[in-house]
Homo-oligomer: A and B are copies of this chain.
C-alpha cells in the first residue's frame, strides 16, 4: 500500500522532496570536504638517495636551509658575513654558535640594527669546543644545513647553485672545498689536498672528503653525529680539529658512497686577513695538517675500517657566469 506521503498533495510533496534532496546533497558535500581534509599527507621523510627534482611547492623544510656559523674571536668578520648571508635566497634562519666564552652575544646591537630578513639565533656555549657546531639544535627546522666558517665568504650565486645541487644529492655533503686521503704501502693514511700524489685511479685527481666549513648537508647527519662512539668526541676535543673529517666518515659510512659532491666555486674568499682581532684561524697552527692525518688514522681505528671513497666529479653551473662556458670548439 502507498506510504503516508502518498497522501500529501503533489505540490507540497514536491517541495518537501526538493528540500530533502538539497539537504542530502549539502550533507554529502560537507562529508566529502571533511574526508578530503582528513586525507593523510604523503610526506617523504626518510633520507632520500636519488637524484631528485627540486620540489615545486614551497615546503619550508625542503626549499630552504639553515645557516650554522660557529664563531670565535672574530666578531667583526662574523657581523660582516651576517650582513651578506642574511639575504641569501632560500635562507630560513641563521644559528650563530657563540664560542666566545664569557663574552656577551651582540644581540642588542643586532636587534637595534633590525629589521632583518631572517631570524638569527645566538647560541651561547659553555666551553669553547670545535664540535659545538655539530649539535642537533632545536631551532633547526629545515632539512638542509649550510655550514660556514666565520672567515669564509661565498657568493650568493654559488650558494644558490650549490643548494640546488644539494637538493638533487641530499645524502651527500655538497660543498666548495675538496680534500683527500692517501693510502701508503705501510697502511698508514695521510691527509691532504691536491699536492698529495694521485690516489692512482686513472688520470686526473680524486677527492674523498668535502669540508663542512663551506657546505650543505642534511640535518639528519647532525642527529647521527650525536650517536657516535665516545672516542670520536674525545679525538675532536683533543685536537680541536677534525670534526669535518669525522662528519665525512659518518656520511660515507651511512651511504656507502663518496661522502661529498664538489661544486667548484666561482667566488669564494677567505677574510682572515680582514679581521681586527689578530686571530687567524686554527689551520695556521704548525701541526694542523699532521693532526688531520693523525685524525684519519684514529678514525679508521675507531670505526675499524676506511669508509671514505674517492670521487672525481666536479660540478659547475651551466652557462654561468660565462654564458657560453659549456661551448666547445667543435
Contact = CB atoms under 8 A, between A and B. Distances in A.
Interface stretch (A38-46, A113-121, A289-297, A309-317): A309-317
A175 interface: no
Interface residues of A, number: 51
Contacts of A164: 312
A169 B51 CA distance: 9
Contacts of A269: 330
Nearest to A49: B50
Given A204-B317, A312-B319, 9 more contacts: A157-B203, A198-B319, A203-B320, A262-B318, A262-B326, A264-B316, A270-B330, A314-B315, A314-B326
Contact of A50 (B50, B165, B328): B50
A131 interface: no
Interface in A107-127: none
A257 B53 contact: yes
Interface string A142-161: 00000000001000010011
Contacts of A327: 194
A165 B312 CA distance: 9
Contacts of A316: 264, 314, 316
A207 B269 CA distance: 29
A311 to B, nearest CB: 7
